[in-house]
Amino acid sequence: MHSEPVSSPSVAVAIPAYNEADGIRGFLTELDGALAPHVGSLRLIVVDDASTDSTQAAVESVRAELSGQLELVANPSNLGHGPTVLVGYRRALASGADLVLQVDGDGQFLGGDLRRLLVLLLDQAHAVSGVRRFRQDPWFRMVMTSVVRTYVRRSFGVNARDPNCPLRGYEAPLLADLLTELPEQCLIPNLYLTVVAARRGLALVEVDVSHRVRRGGSAQGTSWGRERSPIPLRLVRFSVRALIESRRFRRALGPPA
């Protein structure tokens, strides 16, 4: 399900955030400057996942400086990254935008790379995903990305260089259609979107993008960075849950066409 190209599209950006008070203000300013001059209208949708710092205040403090519209959504409780991404996608679709972009609120991507994805969507690409090059992440997250890539290829028959990358864009009607196949409140929605698109024969355009250290106070972030073990136990528990969920998802999809 694809839409006709739009010369001056309306664009919504879904931005999940958790404890990003240190860096999100500057990141929103950068996104606005990179995207607003090139679209008919821009909406930046920040979904705060019950942060324990002043993330919401930091977001509100930049509202008057933006050319685009700013929408702040506050989860009533901490849902986790995956469900928060889904909240952002659904709010973006509800806005009536022609195109939907997604990027995490930790600011590890550049506004210019979001503009590159936007240009590809305007040039009749239906779905675009970033591929993180020279990643600025703790070693265990880079190892996990390699493991995930192999798992997706062997379990789902899908070749993708960075299948769970949190920098991507879609035509809105296509995204709405793909989301109908995802489990409710799933842990890894972007990975599932990659799989569903590929199994439909849809060309998910992959683009090498820059990757930088997160703009907050810690390169690891607050989700995984407060434990002394070499690999955070919270990440291990999350990975087990995601593996179990993904195997159920694979069974629900059935064999590849």
Banded pLDDT at 256 (limits 50, 70, 90) = low
Rounded CA separation 156/174 (Å): 21
Rounded CA separation 101/170 (Å): 6
The structural domains of the chain, with segments of one domain joined by +, span 10-253
DSSP single-letter state for residue 183:
P
Q: Which of 50, 32, 49 is nearest to 41 (CA)?
A: 32
Structure tokens given for 110: 């550049």
pTM of the model: 0.90
pLDDT in tens, 7-37: 689 999 999 999 999 999 999 999 999 999 9
What's the chain's Rg over C-alpha atoms? 17
CATH fold of 10-253, please?
Spore Coat Polysaccharide Biosynthesis Protein SpsA; Chain A (3.90.550)
Average pLDDT, the chain: 90
Confidence at residue 137, expressed as pLDDT on a 0 to 100 scale: 60
pLDDT in tens, 106-132: 999 999 999 999 999 999 899 999 998
Confidence at residue 183, expressed as pLDDT on a 0 to 100 scale: 94
Amino acid at 219: A
- Section 64-69 average pLDDT: 98
Rounded CA separation 47/89 (Å): 10
Structure tokens given for 37: 């001059």
Hey, CA dihedral for 177, 181, 187, 188, is it positive or negative? negative
Phi, psi of 193 (to 5 degrees): -65, -40
Banded pLDDT at 227 (limits 50, 70, 90) = very low
pLDDT in tens, 150-160: 999 999 999 99
- Section 184-198 average pLDDT: 96
Partner residues linked to 37 by β-bridges: none
Confidence at residue 37, expressed as pLDDT on a 0 to 100 scale: 96
Amino acid at 233: L
